Amino acid sequence: MGRVVLVIDDEPEIVEMVASRLQAGGYQALKAVSGKEGIEKARQALPDVILLDIMMPEMDGYQTLRRLKQDDTTKKIPVLMLTVRAWNQDIEKALQEGAFDYIVKPLDVRVFAEKVKKAIELGRAA
């Protein structure tokens, strides 16, 4: 049974593609297309890692992150932010809010695999 990764992004195509890549890497992928849906799925399934987009309508990545970190059941799950590297302040802010690391879109295959693996190792250790 592979590790479970939850992908939260408002673009369904991106969620689809990232999930496909994760499955190819031997992970089990869960999909969510909004912050709200993501939080629900995170609570139910308790994934090993969450991939979270920063720029989303309604509830953005920061708000979603904050909710996840406030909830006792989900606060220990490492969160990797997905970002298009718009501004460094965005990344800084996400890290200060408790994100584990960030991944830049378009994805670099090697970096993506490394960061997901590292996050899972940390999640297991904690």
Is 72 or 89 the residue whose CB approaches other proteins more closely? 89
Tokens of 121: 């190792």
Interaction of residue 85 with other proteins, rule CB under 8 A: yes
Interaction of residue 114 with other proteins, rule CB under 8 A: no
Interaction of residue 113 with other proteins, rule CB under 8 A: no
Among 66, 71, 76, 86, binds other proteins (CB under 8 A): 86
Candidate ranges 32-40, 42-50, 57-65, 94-102; the one touching other proteins (CB under 8 A): 94-102
Question: How many residues of this chain interact with other proteins, rule: CB under 8 A?
Answer: 24
CB of 17 to other proteins, least distance (A): 4
Binding mask of the shown chain, residues 40 to 69, with x at each position contacting other proteins by CB under 8 A: ---------------x--------------
Question: Distance between CA atoms of 25 and 99, rounded to whole angstroms?
Answer: 23
Question: Distance between CA atoms of 113 and 86, rounded to whole angstroms?
Answer: 22
